[in-house]
């Protein structure tokens, strides 16, 4: 069975298009890695502020002994804040 070139064209590799898509995937991967690093810094800064009352960007385990049983409310409050932001759907920041 012979396949015409128009039907088999979907499986041909264009080197320029392949290079372009490869470069785009590298850019997207680097952007994702940068955003992940920024998120880790934000998480560590919020952990420092919430549990220790200091400013820092190193990852530390939360120490509930400092606050006692109230330390359970810290992640609950954070979850409620994130839930409210998701619920508002950023309507407050619509430009």
**Residue 82 domain-assigned (yes or no):** yes
Number of domains in the chain: 1
pLDDT in tens, 14-40: 889 999 999 999 999 999 999 999 999
**Residue 3 domain-assigned (yes or no):** no
pLDDT in tens, 70-94: 888 888 888 898 888 887 776 666 6
- Structural domain harbouring 52: 16-93
- Structure confidence at residue 20 (pLDDT): 95
The larger pLDDT score, comparing residue 75 to residue 6, is at 75
**Residue 4 domain-assigned (yes or no):** no
**Residue 24 domain-assigned (yes or no):** yes
**Residue 52 domain-assigned (yes or no):** yes
**Residue 62 domain-assigned (yes or no):** yes
Determine the Cα–Cα distance for residues 26 and 28; give it in Å rounded to an integer.
Answer: 5
User: Considering just the CA atoms, what is the radius of gyration of the chain in Å?
Assistant: 24
**Residue 59 domain-assigned (yes or no):** yes
**Residue 2 domain-assigned (yes or no):** no
- Structure confidence at residue 92 (pLDDT): 62
Q: Tally the C-alpha atoms within 13 A of residue 12's C-alpha that lie toward its C-beta.
A: 8
- Structure confidence at residue 56 (pLDDT): 86
């Amino acid at each position: 069975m012979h396949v015409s070139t128009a039907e088999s064209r979907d499986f041909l590799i264009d080197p320029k298009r392949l290079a372009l898509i490869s470069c785009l995937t590298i850019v997207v991967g680097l952007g994702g890695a940068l955003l992940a690093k920024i998120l880790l810094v934000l998480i560590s800064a919020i952990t420092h502020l919430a549990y220790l009352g200091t400013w820092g960007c190193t990852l530390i385990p939360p120490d509930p002994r400092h606050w006692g049983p109230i330390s359970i409310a810290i992640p609950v409050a954070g979850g409620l804040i994130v839930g409210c932001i998701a619920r508002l759907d950023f309507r407050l920041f619509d430009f």
